Structure 1
Amino acid sequence: MIKIDVEQMRKQFLTNDMARDKGLNEPENLVKIKNLSYGTHGIENQFDIYYPKGTTAPLPTIISIHGGGFFYGSKEIYRFYTMFLATQGFTVINCNYRLAPENPYPAPLEDINSLMQWLLQYGENYFVDMDQLFLVGDSAGAQLTEQYATMVSNPAYAKQFDFAVAPVQLRAIALNCGVYFIGKQAAVNQDFPHYFGEKVSEARTAQFPVERFMTDKFPPAFIMTATHDFLKDMAKPLANILQSKNVPIDYHLYANSDDTELGHVFHLDQKSSIAKECNLAMIEFFKKFLE
């Protein structure tokens, strides 16, 4: 079982992310509504909404689920990435959720579901179109996106959870540099003891691996990784599973033209041309599934 120093890694990740985003400015052509609350867990249940200035009707809506190994990450770290997505003609939801180890599994899924319930009730006031909904996640956020999409698209799987899954449909999702197949080779808490805890109930264990619960109703998926992403070997097998179920997919293995290192969650770097290429490819994939 792998144990990590959560506080040390949080500090290191934050240092790296701040260096990546140094010098960036928020775009001026967006309406930005910040620090709304969708739940009862304080700052961890806050979110932002962005949409282009001049918007007068609901727009296709992207919800971003940040990564960070289930123990790190925030909407502040993702604001430049998600604001870029909003500049492409979408309403974008940039959210926090409860983190491990303080809040173990399935707290993030509960929070995503609470956010969906909030948006169903109030989203139209903020130009959210719940009939044209897209979910985006990277790294651990891709796992959460994958799992929530499975819950939404497979009612039998949703019944394994002790909360009612929001009645939403996803037009498509994006799974970026994600971690998948948890529980396939070892106990679910083998790699993520801080998330699942030292002991995991049989009911929780039975919810994994998520991939065996995917059906042909799973939403179309943009799946990407990179040449030096430490999780890259998980992406193509996932794409193959979905393809075997006749789920529309768009798989990409990104590489720098000069063969230099292109690493994990490279797409978050708003100074990078290949990140922009990737993010625009995702947007174009989503547009295929608009009404």
Structure 2
Amino acid sequence: MTTTAHRPWYRRPARVIPTVLLASGIVVALVAAISPWPAALLIRAVFQDEAQKTVAEMEPYAPTGGLTEHLDVSYGDAGVDTTLDVFTPDTGDEALTTVVWIHGGAWISGTKENVRPYVRMIAAEGYTTASLNYTVAPESSYPTAVTQLNDALAFLLEHADEYRIDPDRIVIAGDSAGANLTSQLAVLTTNPAYATEVGIEPALSPDQLRAVILNCGIYDVSEIPNAPGIGGWGFRIALWSYLGARDWEDTPGDRQMSTLDWVTADFPTTWISGGNGDPLTAGQSKPLATKLDGLGVDVETVFYPDDHEPALPHEYQFHLDFEDARAALQSTLDFLAGLPD
């Protein structure tokens, strides 16, 4: 009887893995031991693909007209990284409450275009909206993005008349890593000790910053080293890239990013939400909401029972095919409409 030798698993027809892929994987693994770049760029590619799908999901809900758009406006000297978009209703010429949105992407990916449909929907309700680019990691490290975003706020104030911005009614908003950056800018504005700590003079005064909108953010990076699974690994790679050190725990950036430790009773009125299927909700969004409430800050929360169906994923608010996402958008608009004069 003739016997056939078993081929190694990687050469069996049902599980073909090209030799070049195996070799490149080994190289990536070796390089990843000394640099975050390979893994960060891999994560970025995945995030960019998902972001394009999410934008496509939002597009049918966005207005197709009725807005004046100023796209790719330069607010700094870092090329496309320091550009912003501004949207205003076509009708009227008065200055409007202005919502400034900071995109997410784990500090290593994302662009202002990822949130364009969402900020257009908000603008259509009678607001000026702006979405901001900033330099992501590993191309640049902390606190470059915070400095750039603060510069963007200063630029918007300087050009308030041009873009129908009410400089005394600024709302900053963000999703995921953008929510972390939003919280940093809010603490920078309202806690002088924090501004001294990070060495940045805030562009806004506390009176100008009327409210904050926080979606699915991170506010305590001390939790990240122990985060389980591939998600925890991804966040650790992202923070290595962003903070510029593999052992980033106890670095100044680690301390400064954990805004849970820096918020005060002067933090602005806040709308905060996270999905029940998002692991960041229990460990990040809810603790921040609880602390702000304990400080006496006016906080509006949109959370869901653990057994809520469907389970709402990270950044669920952009998945507008979900009824809950549409309800969260309406809650956000009601929050904006209810801000005091």
What TM-score do the two structures reach when normalised by structure 1? 0.91
2:180/2:257 contact within 8 Å kept: no
**Alignment pair present for 1:83 and 2:143:** no
Moved more, 227-236 or 40-49: 227-236
**Alignment pair present for 1:289 and 2:339:** yes
Instruction: Tell me the equivalent position of 2:269.
Output: 220
Q: 2:286 aligns with which of 231, 236, 261?
A: 236
Instruction: Tell me the equivalent position of 1:250.
Output: 300
Deviation at 1:261? 2.7
Percent identity of the aligned residues? Answer: 28
Write the distance in 1 (CA, Å) between the matches of 2:173 and 2:254.
25
**Distance verdict in 2 for CA 1:44–1:171, change over 3 Å:** same
Q: Which amino acid aligns with 1:280?
A: Q
2:174/2:181 contact within 8 Å kept: yes
Q: Higher relative contact order at CA 8 Å, sep ≥6: structure 1 or structure 2?
A: 1
Instruction: Tell me the equivalent position of 1:180.
Output: 219
Q: 2:309 aligns with which of 251, 259, 264?
A: 259
Unaligned runs of 5+ in 2: 1-32, 227-234
2:271/2:301 contact within 8 Å kept: yes
**Distance verdict in 2 for CA 1:212–1:36, change over 3 Å:** same
**Distance verdict in 2 for CA 1:226–1:112, change over 3 Å:** same
1:17-42 CA distances to partner (integer Å, 9 max, x unpaired)?
22233373652111111010110110
1:65-98 CA distances to partner (integer Å, 9 max, x unpaired)?
1000001111111111111111111100011111
1:50/1:93 contact within 8 Å kept: yes
Write the distance in 1 (CA, Å) between the matches of 2:47 and 2:93.
38
**Distance verdict in 2 for CA 1:268–1:202, change over 3 Å:** closer
**Aligned partner of residue 161 in structure 2, secondary structure:** helix
Moved more, 153-162 or 253-262: 253-262
Write the distance in 2 (CA, Å) between the matches of 1:167 and 1:95.
16
Q: 2:96 aligns with which of 34, 44, 59?
A: 59
Deviation at 1:257? 10
**Alignment pair present for 1:277 and 2:327:** yes
Q: Which amino acid aligns with 2:333?
A: I
Instruction: Tell me the equivalent position of 1:6.
Output: 40
Instruction: Tell me the equivalent position of 2:185.
Output: 148
Deviation at 1:277? 1.1
**Alignment pair present for 1:171 and 2:183:** no
2:100/2:129 contact within 8 Å kept: yes
Q: Which amino acid aligns with 2:154?
A: Q
Deviation at 1:271? 3.8
Deviation at 1:210? 2.1
Moved more, 201-210 or 34-43: 201-210
1:185-240 CA distances to partner (integer Å, 9 max, x unpaired)?
759x9561111011658544553532222111000111101111121112111111
Q: Which amino acid aligns with 2:52?
A: M
Number of residue pairs matched? 290
**Aligned partner of residue 49 in structure 2, secondary structure:** helix
Instruction: Tell me the equivalent position of 1:49.
Output: 86
**Distance verdict in 2 for CA 1:206–1:264, change over 3 Å:** closer
Counting helix residues as a fraction of each chain, which structure ranks higher? 2
1:231-279 CA distances to partner (integer Å, 9 max, x unpaired)?
1112111111001100000111147997123211111134443222101
Write the distance in 1 (CA, Å) between the matches of 2:40 and 2:92.
41
Write the distance in 1 (CA, Å) between the matches of 2:297 and 2:259.
16
Instruction: Tell me the equivalent position of 2:50.
Output: 16
